[in-house]
Amino acid sequence: MTMPTRGGLWALVFVMILLPQAVPAGSTGAVAPADYAMTPEAVAPSVYAVMTPARDFPSRENLGWNANMAFVVTGDGVLVFDTGSSETMGVALREAIAGVTDEPVRWIVNSHSHGDHWLGNAAFADEEPEIMAGSASIARMEAEGEGWVENFREMTEGATGDTTLRLPDTAVDERITRDLGGTEVVIIPSGGAHSPGDLSVWLPQARVLLAGDVVYSDRAPSVWDGDVARWIELLDELIALEPAVVVPGHGRLEDARTLDRLQRYLVTLWAAIEEGVEQGLADFETVPLVRERMGELVDDYPGFDDKIDRSVATTYPDVEAAVF
Ligand SMILES: [Zn+2]
């Protein structure tokens, strides 16, 4: 950013003085933490989900809150899973946690690098939590963080406001089990299923899976940044855990059936594209075939029509490479 000239600076001051009168309250500008109605939902003893009612992309209407979050009260500090799309949203989450426990936030897991899952990290800075993410995610956050802040500011017409980036400090690239305040926590890398460096958290004692975006329910999955073949395999691994509760990155609270359903969706996507490749169709010509093969599966995934062109375009080359 270049420094404004003296004239430019005065123009800026002038605009700032005028702005409150010129713009009706509530139509633009950053929102406050209290504007987010975050209600922690106990899904097992000491495990809370903070579910967004939104099913779309960040917008003025949803104030940029479109991804779910969760936390675990261990007795020796709180583990937070994902922190939202902005620092303000992180403050809202922190306040929601404070309504449940006095314990400080000592650990954060960021499921991946997409901005709706980690930009709230800065809200917890003074508690100095250890922040974990996949190393591929950390590299992306470093390169793309400011871009996400800017994107969300535009998409929400300013609602998400300004955010200080706070990057993770611990890379997790293999499945590990940690004892956090007496709670067994298994961190599961996806192998790039939904995006490079995704992590899920499995809580064996509570039988709760904090999935992040490797699970979508009640919303069409975003596959553009991932590896559909790997994702299908990963779902086998998650199904084998036999979770009682699944907290998806996007969508509603679920049980293990959501894993089978999503796997069916991805298997159908892959198989229909394979049919298209074998018939010599181009990627865009394969879209109607995918829609037909999906049949009623689409009913469980609102937003399908908005996402399917891109899903086919990004998956097609992988199918082609696998077929030939
Ligand atoms: Zn997401």
CA dihedral 293, 296, 302, 306 (to 10 degrees): 30
What values do phi and psi take at 111, rounded to 5?
-65, -35
- Whole-number Å distance, alpha carbon 87 to ligand 1 midpoint, is 16
Q: Determine the distance separating the centroid of ligand 1 and the alpha carbon of 306, expressed in angstroms.
A: 15
CA of 89 to the centre of ligand 1 (A): 15
- Rounded to the nearest angstrom, the distance between the alpha carbon of 324 and the centre of ligand 1 is 32
* Parallel, antiparallel or unpaired: strands 208-216 and 245-250: parallel
In Å, how far are 60, 84, 117 from 113, measured between CA atoms? 22, 11, 7
Q: How does pLDDT run across 202-230, given as a tens digit for each residue?
A: 999 999 999 999 999 999 999 999 999 99
Rounded average pLDDT over 246-274: 98
Q: Tell me the average pLDDT across 62-75.
A: 97
Q: How far is the CA of 62 from the centre of ligand 1 (A)?
A: 14
Across 71-84, average pLDDT? 98
Q: Measured in angstroms, how far is the CA atom of residue 192 from the centroid of ligand 1?
A: 14
Over residues 148-176, the mean pLDDT reads 97
Q: Are 113 and 146 in contact (CB under 8 A)?
A: no
Sign for the pseudo-dihedral over CA of 314, 317, 319, 321 = negative
**Spatial distance between the Cα atoms of 3 and 265, rounded to a whole number of angstroms:** 51
Q: Of 78, 182, 184, give the one whose Cα is nearest residue 130.
A: 78
Gap from CA of 116 to ligand 1 centroid (Å): 6
**18-22, 24-28, 85-89, 173-177: range with lowest mean pLDDT:** 18-22
CA–centroid distance, 67 to ligand 1, in Å, is 6
Spacing, Cα 224 to ligand 1 middle (Å): 12
Mean pLDDT of 92-108: 98
Average pLDDT along the chain: 92
**Which candidate, 62, 228, 203, 205, places its Cα nearest to that of 214?**
228
73 has a pLDDT exceeding 90: yes
Has residue 6 got a pLDDT over 60?
A: no
Residue 98 has pLDDT above 80, yes or no: yes
Q: How far does residue 145's CA lie from ligand 1's centre (Å)?
A: 14
Mind listing the pLDDT tens digit for each residue in 46-63? 999 999 999 999 999 999
CA of 37 to the centre of ligand 1 (A): 19
Q: What is the per-residue pLDDT across 124-138, written as a single tens digit (0 to 9) for each?
A: 999 999 999 999 999
Tell how far the Cα of 197 is from the centroid of ligand 1, in angstroms: 13
Q: What is the pLDDT of residues 15-26, one digit of tens each?
A: 343 343 333 334
**Contact, 120 vs 145, CB < 8 A?**
no
Is residue 81 within 8 Å of 71, Cβ to Cβ?
Answer: yes
Provide mean pLDDT across the span 35-41: 96
Of the candidate ranges 3-12, 143-152, 182-191, the one whose mean pLDDT is the lowest: 3-12
> What gap in Å lies between CA 203 and CA 215, rounded to an integer?
16
Q: How far is the CA of 285 from the centre of ligand 1 (A)?
A: 28
Q: Ligand 1 centroid vs 252 CA: distance in angstroms?
A: 13
Distance of CA 5 from the midpoint of ligand 1 (Å): 40
Structural domains in the chain, sorted by start: 31-256 (3.60.15.10)
User: Residue 28: pLDDT band by 50, 70, 90 thresholds?
Assistant: low
Give 9's pLDDT tier (boundaries 50, 70, 90): very low
Give me the pLDDT at residue 23, please: 36
Q: Strands of 176-180's sheet, edge to edge?
A: 176-180, 183-189, 199-203, 208-216, 245-250
* More confident position, 17 or 274: 274
Dist. CA 4 → ligand 1 center (Å): 36
Task: Give the distance (Å) from ligand 1 centre to CA of residue 249.
Answer: 6
Residue 29: is its pLDDT beyond 90? no
Handedness of CA 123, 160, 114, 239 (dihedral sign): positive
Please tell me the distance between residue 14's alpha carbon and the centre of ligand 1 in angstroms. Answer: 39
* Cα 288 to Cα 66, 129, 308, distances in angstroms: 28, 48, 10
For residue 141, how far is its CA from the centre of ligand 1 (angstroms)?
14
What the block records as the tokens of 71 is 């936390």
Residue 214 confidence (pLDDT): 98
Strand partners, 208: 203, 245
**Spacing, Cα 59 to ligand 1 middle (Å):** 14
For ligand 1, the distance from its centroid to the CA atom of residue 111, given in whole angstroms, is: 9
Q: Do 96 and 39 touch, CB atoms closer than 8 A?
A: yes
> Please, which pLDDT band fits residue 4 given cuts at 50, 70 and 90?
very low
